[in-house]
Amino acid sequence: MKTVLTGVKPTGIPHIGNYLGAIKPAIEMSNDDNYDRALYFIADYHALTSVRDSKKFHEDVYNVAATWLALGLDPKRAIFFKQSDVKEVFELSWMLSCMTPKGDMNRAHSYKDCVAKNTDAGKDPDQGVNVGLFSYPILMAADILLYDTNFVPVGKDQIQHVEIARSIAGRCNEYYGKDTLVEPMEVIGKESSYIPGLDGRKMSKSYDNTILIFSTEKKLKKTINKITTDSSAPEDPKDPNNCQIMTLYRLFANKEQVSALEKRYREGIGWGHAKAELFEVINDHLKEAREKFFYYMENKHLIDEILEDGANRARQIAQKTMQRVRSNITNF
């Protein structure tokens, strides 16, 4: 059986950069007949390394679940659940931690980045680093290995997480038998188009330059109107290949729409009109999904039912894995 698994950390309502770069291709993979089983989980306990507001934490879980469901994730085709609802992951995490050299965690990107920032600022290297952040890759490895995962779709900056999981699985198999854990492989997604934010830099929450996937039409229009432009007059010809409005427009419009707007650029178009065109295509693309999102957020019991069903299905896999792992490692 070919199993593919994807996890998403709940950190508020995703933006269109998240949608185009990660969510859309991941949902498309769930419909790929090359895989026999697809699991998608909300990595809620991973968020505890930094989140300290329990109400926000609670709401963010629903935001992420509603977003994926509204955008087309089919919980009948994929197993969709919360990480924390499958307790076996924490038991496996402890077992894996006992098989992982500390040096591997010292070299993990998330920890090294924190140490580097502290060092550059003249602070203690471990200031602000909790043990959860330090051992983050082990819990992630448990997330992957618990479901006998064969393939994990990741970006190039996340390959290390799968490498660590594969290394730990290989070590366990060497000590306790080759059938103890499945050794996963990363699936590198196609490089997504550069998605500019409101200020022209890459769209990112850290830059506060995002366009949220699900805001009201009024807020969406207001956000798009904040896109930075130059001071050229409306009648001045403009280069459609050097404009973040046009870059975003191409990601949502069809060929005919793109061709027509490029023509208007070369003839001269006001930035207000260009932004209005961008609003129309994004709004049209997301309108149906937005309605579903707000419906789910107003009927959270539906989300609870879907996640509970997913957790029950995920636990069936997890329990079989842990029976095998316990037998091999502890002989119980």
pLDDT tens track for 57-82: 999 999 999 999 999 999 999 999 99
User: 51 and 171: one domain?
Assistant: yes
Give the pLDDT confidence of 26-55 residue by residue, as tens digits: 898 888 888 999 999 999 999 999 999 999
Structure confidence at residue 21 (pLDDT) = 85
pLDDT at 164 over 80: yes
The pLDDT, as a whole number, for residue 192 is: 59
Q: Provide the number of structural domains found in the chain.
A: 2
Tell me, what CATH number does 221's domain have? 1.10.240.10
Question: Is a pLDDT exceeding 80 seen at residue 189?
Answer: no
pLDDT 10s digits, 263-322: 999 999 999 999 999 999 999 999 999 999 999 999 999 999 999 999 999 999 999 999
- In this structure, are 50 and 92 located in the same domain? yes
In a domain, 124, yes or no: yes
Q: Are residues 8 and 37 in the same domain?
A: yes
Confidence of residue 25 (pLDDT cuts 50, 70, 90): confident
Same domain, 122 and 259: no
Is residue 200 a part of any domain in this protein?
A: no
Does residue 272 fall inside a structural domain? yes
User: Tell me, what's the pLDDT at 31?
Assistant: 87
Tell me: do 242 and 317 sit in the same domain. Answer: no
Cβ neighbours for 170, distance < 8 A, ≥ 6 positions apart: 183
Is 136 domain-assigned? yes
Q: Given a cut of 70, is residue 193 above it in pLDDT?
A: no
Q: Is residue 326 part of a domain?
A: yes
Whether 22 and 105 share a structural domain: yes
Question: Does residue 190 carry a pLDDT above 80?
Answer: no
136 pLDDT higher than 70: yes
What is the pLDDT at residue 156?
Answer: 80
Same domain, 280 and 323: no
> What is the residue-averaged pLDDT of the chain?
94
- Average pLDDT value for residue range 12-21: 87
Q: Is the pLDDT of residue 332 over 90?
A: no
**209 is a domain residue:** no
pLDDT bracket for residue 191 (50, 70, 90): low
Residues whose CB is less than 8 angstroms from the CB of residue 272 and which lie 6 or more positions away in sequence, other chains included: 225
CA atoms within 13 A on the CB side of 261: 26
> Rounded distance, CA 314 to CA 5, Å?
11
pLDDT single digits (tens) 209-245: 999 999 899 999 999 999 999 999 999 999 999 999 9
203 in any annotated domain: no
Lowest mean pLDDT, pick from 85-94, 146-155, 297-306: 146-155
- Residue 148 and residue 237 in one domain: no
Same domain (yes/no): 272, 186: no
Whether residue 137 sits in one domain with residue 226: no
pLDDT at 262 over 90: yes
pLDDT at position 13 over 80 = no
Are 144 and 249 found together in one domain? no
Considering the domain boundaries, does residue 206 fall inside one?
no
220 and 153, same structural domain?
A: no
Range of the domain at 149: 3-194+300-330
DSSP state of 70: H
- Answer yes or no: are the C-beta atoms of 16 and 71 closer than 8 Å: no
d(C-alpha 135, C-alpha 90), whole Å: 12
What mean pLDDT do residues 107-119 have? 94
Q: What is the pLDDT of residue 155?
A: 80
Distance CA 46, CA 144 (A): 13
Q: Where are the beta strands (DSSP E) in the chain?
A: 3-8, 37-42, 79-82, 151-154, 185-188
Query: Residue 247: pLDDT band by 50, 70, 90 thresholds?
Result: very high
